[in-house]
Structure 1
Amino acid sequence: MILIILCVVLNINYHINVMRRMEMKDGTRAPVSNNGYFGGEQISTSKFSQLLASSHRDFLLSPTGAQVKVSELEGKVVGLLFAANWYPPCRVFTQLLIGIYEELKTNNPHFEIVYVSSDEDLDAFNEFYKNMPWLAIPFYDLETKKSLNRKYEVEGIPCLIMLQPSKVDDATTLRHGVELIYRYGVQAYPFSNERLMELHEAEREKRENQTLINLLANNFRDYVLSQTHTGLFTQVPIASLVGKTIGLYFSAGWCVPCTKFTPKLISVYEKIKQELTEKGDNEDFEIVLVSNDRDQESFDSYYNTMPWLALPFGDPEIKNLARHFDIQGIPCLVIIGPDGKTITIHGRNLINLYQENAYPFTKAKVEQLEKQLEEEARDLPILVHHVGHHHGLNLVSDGNGGGPFICCVCDEQGSNWAYQCLQCGYEVHPKCIKTVHVHVHGP
């Protein structure tokens, strides 16, 4: 589920900027993703009535339609969910949050969520809320909802504000609940600053002690899968991969960007393997598929197109790896060095930029390739007319208006040098340029 969400985020290409500050029918703003971190505001639990009630209402709605007194929230960890039915990322996040909520409520009754709606009308509110197991502010109470949006400076949905009771019955506002749920799930409970520090420390220790074995193996499995020419799976000991450069390929057959990138990765993988064989030394490169396919049949069909190894379908380490590397979208290629340490999580971008030349993906290799690009750029034209665009395109770099971009020809990420339209932002890899006319050469 986590990687499904991440793929959606990648495909809409940073949706948080697309919907920012859209006005709603009731005058509130359509917040878009809240990426801010926690603040230090202190709120007494005695103020829950001031936060969530009004002069004519001292209750919240329950999923059954019953009225629940606001005072019943005192002493609980309370999450304020700002969301709306019309915005797809809210629907996706809500499905994830429902599972987290139900798991937490089983063992932690002192936890609650309150839905703060930005739905456009009552029917939309009812349609969305009917699937939620938590409380809600009535749709008609626009003033309370606007007040909460202003108080917590909500700038994006979905947004989850966590109110964490302390030992002195105060609550500290934690503003990035959405990110905590995505990254840690139930492990984030009780969503306090102290718990966040514990999780960060655990991650730091895991990175420092990272090995290929503790990344990929668990108490029930010490192997990855390989497939034979007959389509059957064989087991390859993870220990046999130690000392190799390993690519962890987070991907899924239902993800369109994945199915576009996989053939390119296969080509690069085979060229790297061939070059290493010709060199005849002890170096080796391998890729392990970390799949988020939805069923075994889909996994089998997608994996059947690949020449490398894979974690078994549905393996619990898949979610752990996604959290460990903080995967923000698929496809993603994480490169692990021969010592078991992470070289880069940007393997996909390096493949797009440098193909097989990116191996072994180290910082030194990337710096060498960037220097080479810099030298090659001296022979590129400053201005070109590209067959795919009606304006002239200027050669730009990181230092003069360039930077990370998505090529409008191949739809893959690029950086450093690009041909850019200064009028409308159209950008193309230099290697993707097909000119109809070339102007002055330089620089």
Structure 2
Amino acid sequence: MENPSWQERLFGRELIKCVTVTKTNDFELVYTSQILKNVDYTGIYFSFANIKLQRDEYTKKLQDFYERINADNDAKRFELVQVVLWANNDVYSDFEQSHTDSLWNLPWFAMPFSEIELKTKLSRRYRIKSGVTTLVLLDKDGSTVSFSAQDRVLEDPLGAYFPWQPRPVDQVLKDIELQPCGMYLQEHVGDTKSRCVYGELPEGIKGFYFSANWCPPCRAFTPQLAEVYRLIRKREPGFEIIFVSSDRSAESYAVYLESMPWLSIPWQQISIRAELAQLYGIRGIPTLILLDRNGHLITMDARTELAEDPIAQNFPWKPRAVNILTERFATKLHDYPAIILFVEGEETEVQFGESVLTPAADSYYKQHNINFNTPQEEFVSTCSDDYYLQFLIGVDTETSDILRDLIGLDDVVPLLVAIDIPNHRFAIMEYGVEITGDSVISFVERFEKGDLQFRNIRQRVLESDNNV
């Protein structure tokens, strides 16, 4: 059997043909692979059924755009898959009917109501905010062209510049003079340049800090970031951060700058700040992203990385084969299975965990052509969800305790477990087997083949509830 296409992995095997939807909830299903196989660009339209009862104005404008962009082409230039979500679960008593109402008489396709898990996974993958209508644009290979193309539809309703390929960051900032923040000269002793242009900055890793003075979490994070910034620059003088403001007034912006030791996009460059936010699909603040020396994205979540690594020991926080089980990686368990080694929290135990998990992780990723050294945008587009497996070390934390309680794991260490929440199953390495690099590799191989003694997670939870 052939591996599913990236379209099928994203949307499932079948899609609803919206023009066939009736008021009685009847509709025709079509194969995803056939509909999207020869399409140049695929849009994922995230809408919310219970935001407005009537067909909203944006959907009408998107329909006009869709019909116009495909009017003069024999081959489908642009196809759309609608993903209907709910901002609040207490508005509709009949969720399935509201789903149908959202699709009636539209010219494109939609994910079926029943694909709840896939929809949730898509929402996490593209960082969709509840209640915010979003259009994600993908190319032929499934790579992301835009995380927020909904604005482009309104700005370019005739599609003159479609598919709105984003300019790389060095082009966006090519002619922009960056503004030193209030503490910049104190941190850059000897810097006497009268002009500061992005292309002339020292070679090194760059951070873009999306933040605002009106945002309490931003104001709390900025001093922490400043301390880590100073720490990193002692080791890597070429490291620089550029502040991208979401402040609501020039006065608020000016006040906020005084607490920062880095550079800033000038307040008056409104379109540049907006373009940077669109380029990286910024959904909320504070957000800190890191780019490598070639302008490729290293991480979209440097804020969380910093919180978990406050002395920046692992800077620049590139993807790693083996990670500590934190809340961030626990969230990913809903999308991807994991091999988890539970140990005590001492540093020697963590080192032991890395020593036995790393050979298995390296072997697994090499076998499935998963390369953590590629730029993140390439990694996301080339990494098949079917083969992505996390390797985690569970230390003595609340996150580990919650997961152990959910699965019903004995409170012993070391304990090696395969947890596959997407398929509602888990398996434990047999007691008495020594945990070594070789035994972990064998355990992973058996997991792939389905040869482990799996238990049903749902059944285990029911058993736990019955025993309470």
Band of TM-score, shorter chain = 0.3 to 0.5
Give the TM-score normalised by the residue count of structure 1.
0.45
Q: Which has the higher strand share?
A: 1
Give the TM-score normalised by the residue count of structure 2.
0.43
